[in-house]
Amino acid sequence: MKRNYKFLISYDGTRYHGWERQPGKDMTIQGKLETVLGKMTGAPSDDPVNLIGAGRTDAGVHARAMTANAFLDTDMSEDEIRSYMNQYLPEDISVMEVRACSERFHARYNALGKTYRYTCWIGPSKPVFDRKYVTILENRPDVEAMKEAAQLLVGTHDFKSFCGNTRMKKSTVRCVDTINIEENGNYLRLYFHGNGFLQNMVRILTGTLLEVGYGNISPVQVKEILEACDRQKAGPTAPPQGLCMMKVDY
């Protein structure tokens, strides 16, 4: 008899085409996890394991705590499932926790909020050991201007200007309740928390705020960009390696 299991997963997305399983592409996080779970449970080809993630991170994006769920037919304990998965998963994907949960639990639909962090490196030296997880900036941006612009983005808005999918037919209204920008030595980190994010949204928000920091966009223009609902008005999409999913709220 199948039971619903909740998973807490971390991964280095450098080698992968993103979270979502894709036809003809073996290197996806969801695909790797489902393959291992399928072998563990002996799931038939006509009823494969379907692992539902709380979000769909882009190619090259990382996660410290992605939440997912799947219905499994197994007699193994939660710890045995975790041990099996970590034994057979590649070294850049780790299952930190496995818990049996309610049949009604859905990792995406039940999520109340998500926290993403975007990390930049500023300085003359190279971030050798963090090079896969930061975006290197040539010059230090005006962080105070970025913070001023960020406050204009906080709240419930139509974020169509910050959506990478220009053919999006569903609602592009989201609530971003906090944007925190922190400096620590050579690191500049932007934290975003909201009830959900559109495709590439955090990376476009970051790219736009960095344009503000470099004086290419004024803080007040950010409100105009938001109201325009036009992707062409916003800044560039920041590179993927600086982005990491930090937490999902339930």
| Residues known to be catalytic | 58
Of 153, 148, 250, whose CA–CA distance to 204 is shortest?
A: 153
Q: Can you tell me the distance from the alpha carbon of 132 to that of 225, in angstroms, rounded to the nearest whole number?
A: 31
CA dihedral 48, 24, 54, 29 (to 10 degrees): 90
Category of 146 on φ-ψ map: left (φ > 0), alpha (ψ -120 to 50) or beta? alpha
Of 57, 58, 40, whose CA–CA distance to 49 is shortest?
A: 40
219 within 8 A of 186, measured Cβ to Cβ: no
Three-state SS sequence of 32-94: HHHHHHHHHHCCCCCCCCCCEECCCCCCCCEEEEEEEEEEECCCCCHHHHHHHHHHHCCCCEE
Q: Can you tell me the distance from the alpha carbon of 189 to that of 145, in angstroms, rounded to the nearest whole number?
A: 15
Q: Can you tell me the distance from the alpha carbon of 205 to that of 85, in angstroms, rounded to the nearest whole number?
A: 35
